Structure 1
Amino acid sequence: MLNKLPSYIENKWRSIVSSCLKNGVNPTLVQFASFLSSRAEEANLPMLEGTRHTKDAPRTSKEEYKSKRKNWHSSLKTETTKTDSCAFCQSPHRLDECESFLVIPWSMRKKFIFSKQLCFKCCMPEHVAADCKATVKCQQCGDPHPTCLHTQPKKSHDNKCTLVCGDQYGCNDNSMIVPVWVRSKGSTIEKLVYCILDPQSNTSFVSDKVLQYLQLKGEHVQLKLSTLHASNHIVNCRRVNKLELLSYDRQTVMQLPTVYSRNEIPARRSQIPTPDVAAKWDHLKSLTNQIAPYMPEVPVALLIGNDVPQAIRPRDIIAGEENHPYGQRSALGWGIVGTICKPPAVSNRIISEDLTNSRVFSSTLYKEVITSSKVQEMMELDFADQNVGTMMSVEDKLFINTLRDGIRQREDGHYEMPLPLRNHNMQLPNNRLLAVKRLNSLKRRFSRNPTFKNDYFTFMEDVLAHCAEEVPAELLNLANGKVNYVPHTGLYHPRKPSQIRVVFDCSAIYQGTSLNNGLLPGPNQINSLLGVLLRFRRERVALMADIKGMFHQFFVNECDRDLLRFLWWKDSDLKNPVTEYRMMVHLFGATSSPGCANFGLKKAADDGEKHWGKEAADFVRNDFYVDDGIKSVSSPEDAIALMKSSTGLCADAGLRLHKWT
């Protein structure tokens, strides 16, 4: 709460805290509440309303104003030319326009600007925001801050809706908006944008900023537009040809006809489909791994009309009941169309809606009297530990039963369990052609980026040594519908730019299906993060550790390993022929892996409790969030004992508990 107060009030409270500490007492919450009440009364004195706290500065003459403005322009020009490269990637563009910088988490962007001592207004060096005279406007919300520091507004939860709502009360629907890559034909410069698929438009449009990024100019023309707002409206724009569109997974490429530019593409970001929306509807749950996660830094900058029928045409439909949203697959990916949440019959909210680009609707709302108990209930929402209870779906029960019946402990201590398939009679098409295509694309990337190649090969050598095996010769031509090839790619950790992780793409679609479509994710049995943190605060001595390579410590039954085949060069030499391997462990990228790893970890705690004690077993069972464990105990002796016992318990299960702090 203190962090949300203005700095001058925070400083006053610091003085009170300092006085209390000098007297040997700690300030109480009652004192803090009384302090806030006093400050609020001071700020709302009626007789001082509208007064200024500073003297009016003398008015500047017209000549002085022109002189200052001229000097400011020249100084700003001089200042901007001092830094002609991005502080993050050293490329010739501003930090606020850096694609690599915009994709890292917001907190890391803010920390980077602070560490480089850059201005938080214009992102330039040698001055601070208080002295900055640049005019800055966020490209996302229009507020006076750099685009790279834009944050999404927090969604409200006062209507206690059990489904997924949009970011505004009157906008609770999804449309066919999918992420795509756009580039000029023959160019290597490309940009990730959200694309609206609109069958009611007979023309396609792109934003001016995308054309500027792609270094395209186009021919200036006048276009006659007819919309609900105006008919035969003449607008000035540019006409561009030879644009190419790639699906988010880069598996589909299509040529666009003539495209016209607009200053911006009108759309509400709350209409972008997300995996969270799909997860809340039973008939759409299969799309949670097909729809890309929401990317707040990616602009809505492209609209494809019915002049590109291959993009607009529905390929598949997943429908629920008559009034439910439905899933639709286009050549560019899956989307969700329709109302995703019905407005409640009772609301405490006062609604103000901008009519621009909005629907006209009618609804009946009743105002509820807000009592003190309601206020207390709302205040406690943020501190409630979410408990999913014991209710499990049929698929969740199938997941648990499959692992419980199939898990076994190997001679080396590691646990081995089957892949939890939705249907044990599942038949998958042989997608080796897809894996070959993706491997060739990876090879071209190796030739362009030697550093990426070296990091990738180092990672794969470790995978081949500990986690994979070559497919036996007698199984190479196996054709029983239980053979699947998993493409793979490399990603760098945003906080560790030199650390690569090879991710196996179990969501790669071939002939309308993928491996993840046939895997059960299982029930959410991960410990509540809030509960782990609250228990961590109980005692005075704290300790923490994590499990090294958790997913790769749990093996897959041999009968299921052919579903995890992948292609790589023999002895990691590009000159050697491509060889078929198969993973022996659960993959980072399979929808079932988190559930399997969590099940195996709790199984290890249950099996090791008798030998290593209840304290170690409870620590592994209850105080781990995925692969990170934190715990507090009453004394250093207890901490040392817990470290030894829990490390031994994990070692018996083939798990390495390390990085003890």
Structure 2
Amino acid sequence: MARREMITSGLVQFDDKPENYRAWKASFKNAIEDLHLSYKEETDLLVKWLGPESSRQVKGIRAVYVNDSCKGLQMSWQRLNEDYGAPEKIEKSLWDRIDNFGNIFERDCSKKLREFNDLVIELLAAKNEGCFLGLGNLDSARGIEDLVKKLPDSLKRKWASHGTKYKEIHNVLFPPFSYFVQFISQQAKMYNDPGFAQTFQTFGDNKPEKYRYKNTPQRSSIRVHKTEVSQATGNSSAFTDAKTMDITKGCPIHHKPHPLYKCRGFRSKSLDERKTFLKQNDICYRCCASNAHLAKDCDKPVSCTECNSDRHVSALHPGPAPWSVRPPEGSDHGGEGKDNGAEATVTTTCTEVCGGDLRDRSCSKICLVSVYPTGQKNRAIKLYAILDDQSNRSLVRSEFFEIFGSKGQQFPYSLRTCAGVINTSGRRAQGFELQSLDGKTTISLPTLIECNEIPNDRTEIPTPEVALHHKHLKSLASEIPKLDPSASILMLLGRDIIRVHKVRQQINGPHNAPYAHRLDTGWVIVGNVCLKGVHRPDLVHCLYTRTSEESCRSLFPPCPYFYNVRENYDMNVCVTMQSSVSMYKSSCKEFEDHVSHSIFQRTTEDETFAPSLEDLAFMKTMNEGFYRAEDSSWVAPLPFKPQRKQLPNNKEQVLQRFRSLQRSFKVKPEMRQHFFAFMGKVVGYP
């Protein structure tokens, strides 16, 4: 019993890895060889020292052969040999270990190279057994390539040198794998030699890093906002806190380093709003440059550039601002003025609407909606849908099919955009419904075509912030949903679902300002939303457009930008696909109608040969000259060609032929008799 306990305590747990199965099996067999265990005891011991997955399988087999422990043990070992001891699985496990082994760098070469050496020795041992046919290519350059890639650059060059010498000396095409293992063992021993440990550590810490980053020096990352130089009076030091800023250097409205009396946003307000703001912030009504004194105590010289008054500054001049909506040329920061001769300071541009990237922003008709299969509202997802009345079909991205698990056949179609015509193919999605976020509107969607060319610019999605910063749109801030980061732009709704394009209510606002439409899917904002046109657009954002050939005539060539989808239906497919016969018939009929109205006019005589010009002239002659005579007989004119040549006078030829005939009659009386009999029948006399 003590011997059995000592032997069994030396067993190790199997880790369910095929590459370790043979070693574990040999250890297990050697440990129980002299114990003379029964079949049931060996099975129980086997279950104890197997891994989680392998133990589960053996337990199932033991439960089946509960009355035949010998058969159960035999089947258990057979199952383990098939699942973990098969050469194919062991070979695959070894290759997976090679792929998952990370690259070796100089800084950790000592440790990693020893592990790599153990791996290649294990590969060599498996290869020499002869039962792993897939390891035979290790003796070639292609088979050893994945192993060489793991080495650092210095060892790659060294291996190339050793391998070339071996080829020259032994006159072979490539060194055997055993020579590569010998090379790795030597290098691992050298890198782990205690006598040279300090040398390789210094080499790994300095030289490889210098070599690696020689051409790509590291730099600390810097993040900045768009900045520009403007003029400001007084000291140019930047403020740190908006609450304690000096209003001569910072604007209390935008918290930016321009003075209040130069702020375009403050000047754009009405006079009552400006005075109310000054009163609330205890700012001088006369100079608008200090909150340390009142207007009656102000002794600063002031002047209005609009009316030349010395009683107020330009920021308090009554009436509208003198500038237009578009800022002056060269000013992208809102048009705050400059003081000549003042010290320059660095300022940051206002980003109330346009965002931190300071690019011109424009919104379009993009709605946040819920889409789900008909009758399965529990599977509804939120997505953004583009409403484009210049597209004749509705499109969805491939992610739409993946979300709903839709699998179908690919159908070809032609996609016409401003980039040209693209012949591609995509799946079809049917039986979906669209619902607005408030749940008041539910619309059945048409057939959706798979297309990944849908625009995907999320900056064009309308948001409540856009409405809040435009006076005529403030009332819509609560009607427009916030930007949903989890919802993607997956759908484009075209003219085949015309209901979603109908405008139920609209808000126009001033000229050149964005406008709003209320659709069945919710409110949308369209247009450039940059405040006061501060930012000049440097990138054109547009959806695809289309022009009609029936539009008014122009000397200019027609616009090439349009967005059109045409499906290339095969008429045979429409007949043979029984599962969707109705869909194909309607689609093919739509295709035929489109072709017949846009290419040529079809008639019942399309399959017959057209008459020639001579045929048409003959029919005209018959129609004009054909009549019925008094004796009820039909008379038709001779179909002479127009402008025919005049025949010459042939009287002499006729007389000559007649005299010749008379001479023949005198010579041949029988001929004369036959001639007169025949002609009598023709002309009708006896």
TM-score over 0.5 for the pair: no
**Greater fraction of residues in strand:** 1
Q: Which has more radius of gyration?
A: 2
TM-score of the aligned structures, taking structure 2 as reference length: 0.29
**Greater fraction of residues in helix:** 2
